[in-house]
Amino acid sequence: MTQPPSDRQYQISLDEVIAQIRDLPTLPAVAGEMLSNLDDDDLSLDKIAEKVSMDQSLAAKTLRLANSSYFGSNSKVVTLQQAVAMLGVKNVKNLIRMTILTTSFPVSRCQGFNFKAFWQQSIATAVCAELISRTLHMKHDFAFTAGLLHAIGRLVLVTRFPDQYQEVLDYRRQHDCHLLQAERIVLGVDHVQAGLALAVQWNFSEAIQDAIRGYTEPGMGGLNPVAAIVHIADAIVHALDLAKLEDDLMPIVAETAWNTLALGEMDYHAIFRETEMRFDALNQIVL
Average pLDDT in the 14-41 region? 65
Does residue 191 share a domain with residue 49?
A: no
Does residue 164 share a domain with residue 269?
A: yes
The per-residue pLDDT of the chain, averaged, comes to 83
Q: How far is CA 98 from the centre of its chain?
A: 8
End-to-end CA distance of the chain, in Å?
39
The model's pTM is 0.84
* Alpha-carbon span 40 to 62, nearest angstrom: 20
Does residue 190 share a domain with residue 164?
A: yes
Phi-psi region of 88 (alpha: psi -120 to 50; beta: other; left: phi over 0): left
- Residue 69's domain comprises 28-89
More confident residue, 86 or 275: 275
pLDDT-wise least confident of 126-130, 217-221, 230-234: 217-221
* Alpha-carbon span 12 to 186, nearest angstrom: 9
% of the chain residues with pLDDT over 90: 35
Residue 10 backbone dihedrals phi, psi, to 5 degrees: -90, -5
Q: Is residue 94 part of a domain?
A: no
Number of domains in the chain: 2
Does residue 229 share a domain with residue 109?
A: yes
Q: Three-state SS for 70?
A: coil
Q: Is residue 197 part of a domain?
A: yes
Annotate 167-214 with DSSP letters as a single string. HHHHHHHHHT--HHHHHHHHTSS-HHHHHHHHHHHTT--HHHHHHHHH
Closest to 136 in 3D by CA, of 232, 31, 70: 232
> What was the pLDDT predicted at 129?
95
Closest to 23 in 3D by CA, of 252, 246, 269, 197: 197
- Residue type at 253 in one-letter notation: V
**Is a pLDDT exceeding 70 seen at residue 9?**
no
* Alpha-carbon span 271 to 233, nearest angstrom: 10
User: Which residues does 65 contact at the CB level (< 8 Å), separation at least 6?
Assistant: 71, 83, 87, 91, 95, 281, 282, 285
- 33-81 tens-digit pLDDT: 555 555 666 667 777 788 788 778 788 888 888 888 777 666 788 888 8
Identify the domain boundary among 64, 89, 114. 89
CA geometry: angle 103, 243, 226, nearest 5 deg: 75
Annotate 5-24 with DSSP letters as a single string. PS-GGG---HHHHHHHHHHS
Does residue 126 share a domain with residue 229?
A: yes
* Alpha-carbon span 211 to 190, nearest angstrom: 15
Does residue 142 share a domain with residue 81?
A: no
Identify the domain boundary among 89, 117, 137. 89
Measured N-to-C along each axis, helices 80-87 and 56-66 cross at an angle, to the nearest 10 degrees, of 60
Q: Is residue 160 part of a domain?
A: yes
Does residue 155 share a domain with residue 271?
A: yes
Q: What is the CATH number of the domain that holds 280?
A: 1.10.3210.10
More confident residue, 277 or 15: 277
Does residue 66 share a domain with residue 122?
A: no
Average pLDDT in the 213-240 region? 92
Q: Is residue 99 part of a domain?
A: no
Does residue 140 share a domain with residue 54?
A: no
User: Which residues does 211 contact at the CB level (< 8 Å), separation at least 6?
Assistant: 146, 147, 149, 150, 224, 226, 227, 229, 230
What are the start-end ranges of the H helices in the chain?
Answer: 14-23, 29-37, 45-52, 56-66, 80-87, 89-102, 115-135, 140-149, 153-160, 162-175, 179-186, 191-201, 206-214, 226-240, 255-261, 265-286
